[in-house]
Amino acid sequence: MALITVHRLTKDARRVTARVGGVVHDLGRVYNDNDLTEALRRAGVEEPADVWDDPDIVTWEGEEAHVWGSGLPRPPVT
């Protein structure tokens, strides 16, 4: 079972949670890949982009991975 869950799209954001020691922690709502990177970094993931697509670590519920508010993948904001 994955440790990080990126939940279904709600309007223009997705909620992210992390399961640690059987306890689920809310990491907040994210609006794009950059927000997801920051949420995972704050949760202690050293290389967030390396785990986004690892199904052993991250589960994407509902929409496909990296799909955000428009219903389409959004490029990272630079």
Task: Report yes or no on 36 lying in a domain.
Answer: yes
The whole-angstrom separation of Cα 73 and Cα 17 is 20
Q: Which 8-state DSSP code applies to residue 35?
A: H
Q: In what order do the strands lie in the sheet with 23-30?
A: 23-30, 13-20, 4-10, 58-60
Please give the residue range of the domain that contains residue 42: 4-60
Task: Report yes or no on 67 lying in a domain.
Answer: no
Instruction: Read off the pLDDT of each residue in 5-18 and give the average, rounded to a whole number.
Output: 93
Q: What's the total number of domains in the chain?
A: 1
Q: What is the pTM of this model?
A: 0.84
pLDDT tens per residue, range 22-48: 899 999 999 999 999 999 998 888 899
Task: Report yes or no on 34 lying in a domain.
Answer: yes
